[in-house]
């Protein structure tokens, strides 16, 4: 039988160490909503999401209450809209009208983000894909809760450099369209290499075409719990360190598994995966950078950071896989800048640069995340940063991503405030040398040799 010590340990994690379930994300396929008439399509989408997601928020709240564990976000992901809108949308305004429908239904069912305003163009772009991509600035400036993502490459297909070039321009344009809000639109836009179909975390969540009609995916969190556990093993060797991370990750993930099963059962929707990520928030004590410091670094970004992050990421996975029947999504440690107080401090102190962050993305769960850069950065430079990140993902067979915010009207030394979970960020300098000729070549980078495993 459960004893007092165990109950106290769990409740301490929740009350003092910010243990929470970061998100219950309901994936909904919109493939059966497709129609050649844009009005009919919008209506179908509205009706399907309203019907399926109707009790998502209430179910989340009920579980929260019964188990005493906060479930921070309830969210929805949908089939990439480029596929859904292909037949009906003839202009960027048509696509943007779908974004408005998604925004409206998101507000009505009470979710804080809805992901899937997406296109998958890792090898080539259809006309619909390109139209959707070109509509992103308009869509994100006219909506509040819609998130957009574009998959630009994969280990199997190589990198679509035409799309990389286009996305550099789209990121700048999105920043321009939302400049009155510190270019907030770019915080809701992410590009991927090897994007997973079942990621529950925003902004990159979408409901892949390989998925069932509806599915529940859950993202767990808990950097504060890992940090506290590591405080007790200061000075111990790596074996002890790794064991401690593994055990803690196991406990965190078990809670996620419980919540996922309960939500799935109560909503009558199958359980998909647990994403066992360490996802920081700007709250004090909820930081991945603080874990790196606890492992033994003065600041995130100091020499040794990549090694520390690599072991952290790996041990989180090792501990987590045994705790859940299905693990998927991004799973690992996120290293966003604006959403992590320790990372913000490291940037301000000069310990952490864009180049070091890039190195860290080789071993973290995703990529360059929530990084504010000067608003006058050239589109080709952003494409160059994206291309570098895509190459890391392609060669290392991992998911990588870029969510970068050129803040219009602001420069290095200034700060930008996004609010809420998105946090705030100091604007980081970008290498000023040009990569125009590289980006303007056009075409695609072939898949690497180790992708030919057939």
Binding site for other proteins (CB under 8 A): 1-4, 6-11, 62, 65-69, 251, 254-255, 257-258
Cβ 322 to other proteins shortest distance, Å: 8
Cβ 330 to other proteins shortest distance, Å: 23
Paired with 259 in beta bridges are: none
Q: Which residues have CB under 8 Å from 175's CB, separation 6+?
A: 183, 185, 186, 375, 405, 406, 407, 408
Q: 78 and 106 in contact (C-beta within 8 Å)?
A: no
Closest CB to other proteins among 91 and 325?
A: 325
Closest CB to other proteins among 258 and 310?
A: 258
Closest CB to other proteins among 245 and 295?
A: 245
Closest CB to other proteins among 257 and 380?
A: 257
Long-range CB contact pairs, 46-51, < 8 A, 24+:
46/101, 46/104, 46/105, 49/76, 49/78, 49/102, 49/105, 49/109, 50/105, 50/108, 50/109
Token representation of residue 218? 């859950």
Cβ 239 to other proteins shortest distance, Å: 21
Instruction: For residue 196, give Cα distances in angstroms to 99, 102, 199, 399, 440.
Output: 22, 21, 6, 7, 28
Cα–Cα distance between 362 and 311 in angstroms, integer? 12
Enclosing H/E stretch for 445? strand 444-445
Cβ 228 to other proteins shortest distance, Å: 15
Cβ 61 to other proteins shortest distance, Å: 9
Where b means 16+ CB within 10 Å and e means fewer, 257-293 reads: bbbbbbbbeebebebbbbbbbbbbbbeebbbbbbbbb
Closest CB to other proteins among 11 and 36?
A: 11
Cβ 325 to other proteins shortest distance, Å: 12
DSSP state at residue 203: S
Cβ 72 to other proteins shortest distance, Å: 16
Q: 171 and 382 in contact (C-beta within 8 Å)?
A: yes
State the Cα angle at 11 between 9 and 14, rounded to 5°: 115
Q: 20 and 221 in contact (C-beta within 8 Å)?
A: yes
Closest CA to 158 of 454, 384, 450, 444: 444
Closest CB to other proteins among 159 and 255?
A: 255
Cβ 24 to other proteins shortest distance, Å: 15
Closest CB to other proteins among 218 and 289?
A: 218
Cβ 21 to other proteins shortest distance, Å: 11
Cα–Cα distance between 445 and 326 in angstroms, integer? 33
- Helices then strands, counting H and E runs in the chain, come out as 15, 13
Closest CB to other proteins among 66 and 239?
A: 66
Closest CB to other proteins among 104 and 251?
A: 251
Cβ 23 to other proteins shortest distance, Å: 18
Identify the residue whose tokens are 């009706």.
47
Closest CB to other proteins among 185 and 224?
A: 224
Cα–Cα distance between 261 and 63 in angstroms, integer? 11
């Amino acid at each position: 039988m459960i004893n007092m010590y165990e109950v106290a340990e769990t409740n301490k994690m929740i009350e003092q160490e910010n243990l929470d379930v970061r998100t219950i994300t309901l994936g909904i396929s919109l493939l059966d909503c497709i129609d050649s008439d844009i009005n009919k399509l919008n209506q179908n989408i509205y009706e399907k999401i309203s019907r399926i997601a109707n009790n998502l928020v209430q179910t989340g709240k009920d579980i929260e209450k019964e188990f005493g564990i906060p479930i921070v976000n309830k969210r929805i992901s949908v089939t990439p809209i480029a596929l859904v809108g292909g037949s009906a949308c003839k202009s960027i305004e048509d696509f943007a009208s779908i974004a408005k429908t998604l925004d409206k239904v998101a507000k009505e069912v009470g979710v804080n983000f809805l992901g899937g305003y997406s296109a998958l163009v890792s090898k080539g772009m259809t006309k619909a894909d390109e139209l959707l991509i070109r509509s992103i600035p308009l869509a994100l400036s006219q909506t509040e809760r819609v998130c957009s993502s574009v998959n630009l490459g994969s280990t199997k297909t190589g990198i679509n450099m035409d799309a990389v070039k286009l996305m550099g321009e789209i990121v700048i344009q999105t920043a321009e369209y939302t400049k009155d809000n510190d270019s907030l639109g770019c915080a809701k836009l992410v590009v991927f290499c090897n994007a997973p179909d079942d990621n529950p975390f925003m902004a990159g969540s979408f409901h892949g075409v390989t998925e069932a009609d509806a599915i529940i995916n859950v993202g767990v969190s808990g950097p504060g719990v890992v940090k506290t556990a590591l405080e007790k093993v200061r000075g111990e060797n790596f074996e002890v360190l790794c064991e401690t991370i593994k055990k803690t990750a196991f406990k965190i993930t078990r809670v996620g598994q419980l919540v996922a099963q309960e939500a799935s059962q109560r909503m009558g929707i199958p359980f998909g995966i647990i994403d066992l990520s360490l996802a920081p928030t700007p709250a004090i004590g909820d930081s991945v950078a603080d874990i790196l410091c606890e492992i033994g670094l003065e600041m995130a970004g100091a020499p040794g950071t990549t090694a520390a992050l690599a072991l952290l990421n790996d041990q989180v996975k090792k501990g987590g896989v045994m705790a859940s029947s299905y693990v998927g999504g991004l799973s690992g440690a996120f290293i966003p800048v604006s959403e992590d107080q320790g990372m913000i401090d490291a940037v301000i102190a000069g310990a952490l640069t864009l180049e070091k962050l890039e190195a860290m993305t080789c071993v973290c769960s995703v990529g360059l995340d929530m990084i504010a850069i000067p608003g006058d950065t050239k589109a080709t430079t952003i494409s160059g940063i994206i291309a570098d990140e895509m190459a890391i993902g392609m060669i290392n067979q991992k998911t990588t991503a870029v969510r970068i915010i050129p803040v219009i009207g602001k420069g290095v030394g200034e700060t930008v405030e996004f609010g809420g979970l998105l946090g705030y960020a100091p604007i980081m300098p970008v290498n000023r040398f040009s990569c125009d000729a590289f980006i303007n070549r056009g075409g695609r980078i072939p898949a690497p040799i180790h992708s030919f495993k057939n």
